[in-house]
Structure 1
């Protein structure tokens, strides 16, 4: 038996797929997988089949045509074709997240393209498919152009490829925003934007903090917030959350030792910090506050606001280290500190 890939178009009407599969079955062809791509010309059926060794490409095309199929394309396949499409796409997505520079190779593997090239953005150029050519918008700018001899690209393939490009751009953006911080005592940490997958580690961060540390952060009780609230803090609708992460030397497991929130409302953004007790008074809070302040400034906010208890000397010291003037509004034992920003207009991508 020999593995083949067969692609053919049939009328998108009830029973037409069964007629095609019956024609293949009459010749001893075993269908291993099938994908259906909806197009304006009809349903494009993509089969991976196991056919008797006595059948060749001409025989398979004849079987498809007898089954009311048209525009048939047939090619030998390898054992790796037995991997189902969702598993294959997930594997390629994993590779792209780990190595965003492999975008061209991933697209080639996903679509079986003969040529993949990147081109600068051209005014009026439109993404889409045209037979055996495809143009994909690169979220980072420009576009990818793909070509293969056969078969023609389908809208489903275009959608998968564009989704992979957007995933790669997101991964690359997060990697670019990740920095390594060396504290005055020589300790190294990674500071990066938080993601939803950090929830378990952030829950553990709150458990590791003392009641006093939690109370100073949330100004209302010493307990930990519910996971639903923490999830919203990790990915705010407007603003940014940073986490400071260390990696255990033996376990290799990441631990979140600090979380910094920039929560925007109107033209101001509220800042809040939570640093695990054993990482306090080491310069980490100052590092996070500076980074969030720069983010707020580049995003065009007029000021950052911080609420703290009047006796929270470490936080007041951290704010002074920021080196920016602040107005203070006392309300009993609570202070509201406002730091004006020289708002910048966010840069616009051109081309």
Structure 2
């Protein structure tokens, strides 16, 4: 038996796919996988098949045409073709997360393209499909051009390629957002946006903090929050969570020493910080707060809101150092501080 890839177009009507598969089955062809691409010309069916050694390319084309298929393309396949398309796409996505610079090669592998080129100019009016040519805008600037002699590209393949390019751009942006802070005492800490993959490190951060520090952060208790709650904090909708890492052993990931959350609340955003005890009073909290202020301004929030224990004098000083109007409201042991971001914007706390 021999592995083949077959691509053919059939009318997008009930029963037509079964006519094609029956024609292949009558010749001893075993269909291992099938994908259906909807196009304006009909349904493009992409098969991975195992055919008898006596059946050559011409015989497969004839079987497809007898099954009401047209525009047939047939080519030998390899054992790696047995991996289904979602599995291949996930493997390529994993590769891009590790190496965003491999976007061109990932596109070539995903689509079996003959050539992939990057140009500094955007795709512009030519963005999209033209049978054997695909153009994709690069979100980071420029564009990709993919060519494949046969078979022609389909809209489904275009969508997959665009998703891969957007993933690569997102990974590259995240890497660019990482900065290294040099604190007043000379210590260095790397700051970057958090992802759900940081959950183990954030759990270790909470476990390494004193009960007093956790109580100041979460106000209502000193226990370590559940994994589910921390996971939601790592990628808040409409906001951002920054992590500071430092002091790792050689060859090991650097431990998380601070976490700063910005969580959307209408036209305002709530801010909260947790800094490991041995990194407190070293300027790290102030640096993280300033970065959250800049992020909130870029998004367009009117104000930041912080809920702080009245006895947490260090945090209140950190907020005042921003040099912005900070009206406060006290309710027992809790102080709510509002940091205005937009001049003249109204706030809930006066």
**Kindly tell me: are residues 12 and 314 of structure 1, through their superposed partners in 2, closer, same or farther at Cα, counting changes over 3 Å?**
same
> 1:157-187: per-residue Cα shift (whole Å, max 9, x none)?
1121111122112111111112233445554
1:11-22 map, 5 Å:
11-22=11-22
**Bigger shift: residues 266-275 or 99-108:** 266-275
TM-score, normalised on structure 2?
A: 0.85
Q: For residues 329 and 152 of structure 2, what CA distance do their matches in structure 1 show? A: 69
Structure 1 spans left out of the alignment, 5+ residues: 344-351
2:268, 2:304 within 8 Å by CA — same for their partners in 1? yes
2:88 is the counterpart of 1:88: yes
Mapped partners of 2:25, 2:270: distance in 1:
66
Deviates more, 1:224-233 or 1:266-275: 224-233
Tell me the residue number matched to 2:323: 324
Structure 1 partner of 2:102: 102
**Other-structure match for 2:199:** 199
Residue 327 of structure 1 aligns to a residue whose secondary structure is coil
User: Which residue is equivalent to 2:164?
Assistant: 164
State the number of aligned residues: 341
Runs of 4+ deviating beyond 6 Å:
none
CA–CA separation in structure 2 for the residues paired with 1:14 and 1:337: 64
8 Å contact from structure 2 (residues 303, 339) kept in 1: yes
Deviations 1:70-115 (A, max 9, x none): 1100112233222222221111111122222222221111111223
Alpha-carbon distance, 1:229 to partner: 3.8
1:155 aligned residue: 155
- Tell me the residue number matched to 1:56: 56
SS across alignment from 1:198: helix
**Does residue 34 of the first structure (1) align with residue 30 of the second (2)?**
no
The 1-side partners of 2:298 and 2:177 are apart by: 14
Structure 1, residues 185-225: CA drift from partner, whole Å, max 9, x if none? 55443321122333343344333322211121122332344
What is residue 79 of structure 2 aligned with on the other side?
79
Deviations 1:204-258 (A, max 9, x none): 4333322211121122332344444433332223322111234742672554321
Q: 1:274 to 1:60 in 2, by over 3 A?
A: same
- In the other structure, the counterpart of 2:298 is 298
Q: What is the CA-CA distance between 1:148 and the residue it aligns to?
A: 1.2
Gaps of 5+ in 2: 344-350
* CA root-mean-square deviation: 2.8
In structure 2, the partner of 1:347 is none
Give, in angstroms, the shift of residue 303 of structure 1. 4.1
Equivalent residues of 1:328, 1:335 under 8 A apart: no
Counterpart in the other structure of 1:348: none
Q: Could you tell me the TM-score, scaled by structure 1's length?
A: 0.84
Correspondence for 1:121: 122
Between the aligned partners of 1:184 and 1:235, the Cα distance in structure 2 is: 30
Q: 1:12 is paired with a residue of what secondary structure?
A: coil
SS in 1 for 2:230: helix
Q: Are the structure 2 counterparts of residues 30 and 300 from structure 1 closer, same or farther at C-alpha, using a change threshold of 3 Å?
A: closer
Contact 2:114 2:148 survives alignment (8 Å)? yes
Three-state SS of the structure 1 residue aligned to 2:294 is: helix
Partners of 1:270 and 1:122 in 2: CA distance: 40
Alpha carbons of structure 1 residues 217 and 35: separation in structure 2 relative to 1, 3 Å: same
Instruction: Write the mapping of 1:177-256 to structure 2, written as runs, cut at 5 A.
Output: 177-185=177-185, 187-246=187-246, 248-249=248-249, 252-253=252-253, 255-256=255-256
In structure 2, relative to structure 1, the CA distance for the partners of 1:59 and 1:173 (3 Å cut) is same
Deviation larger for 152-161 or 193-202: 193-202
Structure 1 pair 210–334 and aligned structure 2 pair: CA distance change class (3 A): same
Tell me what 2:347 maps to.
none
Q: Is the 8 A contact 1:23 1:64 kept in 2?
A: yes
Question: Which residue matches 1:349?
Answer: none
Q: What does the per-residue CA deviation read over 1:311-345, in whole Å, with 9 as the maximum and x for residues that have no partner?
A: 2133234345x4524535352443344444477xx
